[in-house]
């Protein structure tokens, strides 16, 4: 069987599975997340099938597909939680030091609504360059080493380090800018200016 015939056969298998299972897999994902994430996870599950090296040998049932989408959603949740944790550890302390009011260096606790609650993390990541975003996801979210990320991205370790540093700096700037906007909005709502 030639590569072209193999690719057509694999596509036909996945298309048949897509027709049979898409609605049920989407409904399953939709119970856990919003419609956009559910659709992304469902499509990713079928895309992974297409890339599976032994696709022709597998007996794929609905339960298999549900497990795949569940794993995808679990990984996304873990990556997002890990990125939030990194942002809290690396970015917020620096921001807090800068925002200390200067009275003996005593830190003033911010209002209960934090900057991260005001700013959708995925939206912030999407404002980074593709290289910075991919590097942060691989190194920070997925925990790959610089060498592993460099191999995955096809660049040097130094480049990965630079992209990570710049990406986190830009995220820090986005978080800070959102905090400033939040403070100005609060002053305006209270009738204060400044």
Q: Is CATH 1.10.10.10 the right assignment for the domain spanning 110-194?
A: yes
Burial class (CB in 10 A: 0-12, 13-18, 19+), 11: exposed
Q: Where are the domains of the chain?
A: 1-81, 110-194
Check residue 39 and give its pLDDT.
92
Note if the pTM is more than 0.85. no
Using 70 as the pLDDT threshold, list the residues of the chain that sit under it.
1, 90-122, 175-194
Rounded distance between C-alpha atoms, residue 100 and residue 105, angstroms? 6
pLDDT of residue 19: 93
Closest to 135 in 3D by CA, of 153, 156, 121, 123:
153
The pLDDT of residue 96: 62
**What pLDDT sits at residue 103?**
47
Q: Two tokens at 179?
A: 């905090």
CA distance 189 to 50: 53
- Condensed to tens digits (0 to 9), the pLDDT of residues 130-150 reads 899 889 888 887 778 888 888
How far is it, in rounded angstroms, from Cα 158 to Cα 156? 5
């Amino acid at each position: 069987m030639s590569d072209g015939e193999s690719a057509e056969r694999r596509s036909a298998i996945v298309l048949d599975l897509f027709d049979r299972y898409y609605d049920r897999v989407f409904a399953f994902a939709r119970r856990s997340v919003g419609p956009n994430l559910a659709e992304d996870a469902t499509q990713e599950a079928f895309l992974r099938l297409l890339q599976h090296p032994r696709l022709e040998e597998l007996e794929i049932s609905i339960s298999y597909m549900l497990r795949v989408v569940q794993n995808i959603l679990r990984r996304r949740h873990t990556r997002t939680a890990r990125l939030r944790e990194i942002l809290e550890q690396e970015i917020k302390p620096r921001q807090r030091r800068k925002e200390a009011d200067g009275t003996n260096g005593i830190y003033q606790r911010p209002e209960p609504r934090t900057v991260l609650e005001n700013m959708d993390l995925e939206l912030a990541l999407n404002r980074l360059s593709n290289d910075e975003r991919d590097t942060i996801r691989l190194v920070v979210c997925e925990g790959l080493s610089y060498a592993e990320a460099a191999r995955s991205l096809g660049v040097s370790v130094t480049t990965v380090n630079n992209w990570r540093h710049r990406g986190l700096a830009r995220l820090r700037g986005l978080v800070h800018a959102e905090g400033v906007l939040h403070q100005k909005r609060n002053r305006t709502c209270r009738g204060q200016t400044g």
